[in-house]
Chains A and B, each alone.
Chain A
Amino acid sequence: MNRLNKHVNELFKDVPEGEKKEKILQEVLQNLEEKVIDLIEQGKDEEDAINKAIVEFGDIEDLKEELEIPQSDKKDMTKINLAYSIWGSLLIIALFVFINFYYTPQAIWFVYPTFAVLWWPLTMYFIWMKNR
């Protein structure tokens, strides 16, 4: 069984260490050992049984993909983008309001650029929603 242990550890060597890895490693080993015992009971010698179990285990790539920690930096980016767009648009709108009331207080025109600028945080908001 030692060889089985070694092989499984080898398979999982790229997976980041952690509780999750430990758990799944244990589970995989338990199941494989049971399979080997089963095969031996069916009349295979231990060497053959272990080989068969290892071969039938298959390609670990899918599993690695599932084990990857969800890409948190990507999620964070959408949030940062949203915050940036809100602050940015507020500053731009404030600037328009200032220019409007300082130079042309008789005509209220700042709402037009305000509407245009609001598309920016609105877009970022929906991107953020989509990624949540």
Chain B
Amino acid sequence: MIRSDIIRGHLDSIVLRLIFEEDRYGYEISKEISSRTDQRFQIKEATLYAVFQRLEKKELIESYYGTFSKGGKRKYYKITSLGKAFLKEMAEEWKETKEIIDLFMEGLK
């Protein structure tokens, strides 16, 4: 598995992106991250809840309770308009960052 400290700094964006696509709940998000990365990156649940707390505190997401399912009532998260704006900004910032790092990391032998 990949060293995760670089990814760690972008977990907020990753989670926000998934919630941006549709309203999701915790387990779904961790499953989605694993499957999209072909199990190369797995988010620890404890970390995921910390991300939720942080995003909710910053009012980038909101939560609501969904229907009753397999283990109980699911808590869903929904992106706010502030969250959408933040995500867009993050995407631009990442593009910029990637370009800069690429300048130094690409073409090495």
Interface residues of A (CB under 8 A from B): 11, 24, 26-38, 56-63, 65-67
| Nearest CB on B from A14, distance (A) | 13
CA distance A11 to B44 in the complex (A): 14
Using A30-B72, A62-B47, A63-B46 as known contacts, list a sample of 7 further A-B pairs with CB atoms less than 8 Å apart, ordered by residue number in A.
Answer: A24-B49, A30-B26, A30-B73, A31-B27, A37-B70, A59-B47, A62-B46
Q: Write 6 A-B pairs (CB below 8 A) sorted by A numbering.
A: A24-B53, A26-B75, A27-B49, A31-B71, A32-B71, A38-B27
Q: Is the CB of B50 within 8 A of A62?
A: yes
Is B25 an interface residue, CB under 8 A from the partner? yes
Q: Considering only CB atoms, which chain A residue lies closest to B53 in the complex?
A: A66
Q: Which 6 pairs across A and B sit closest by C-beta, in order of nearness?
A: A58-B44, A33-B71, A66-B53, A31-B27, A62-B50, A31-B26
Question: Bound complex: CA of A63 vs CA of B45, how far in Å?
Answer: 10
Q: Main secondary structure on chain A at its contact with chain B?
A: helix
When A31-B45, A59-B44 are in contact, do A66 and B70 touch as well, CB less than 8 Å?
no
Residue-wise interface mask of B (65-86) relative to A, using a CB-CB cutoff of 8 A (1 in contact, 0 not): 0000111111100000000000
Contacting residue for A63 out of B47, B69, B70, B74, CB 8 A: B47
Enumerate chain B interface residues (CB-CB to A < 8 A): 25-27, 30, 42, 44-47, 49-50, 53-54, 57, 69-75
Q: A27-B75, A66-B53 are in contact. Are A59 and B26 (CB under 8 A)?
A: no
Q: Which residues of B contact A56 (CB under 8 A)?
A: 42, 44-45
B15–chain A nearest beta-carbon distance, Å: 13
The 8 Å CB contact of A60, one of B26, B42, B46, B72, is B46
Cβ A67 vs Cβ B53 within 8 A: yes
Known: A30-B71, A31-B25. Contact between A65 and B46, CB under 8 A?
no
- Looking at A28, A38, A56, A63, the one whose CB has the most chain B CB atoms below 10 A away is A63
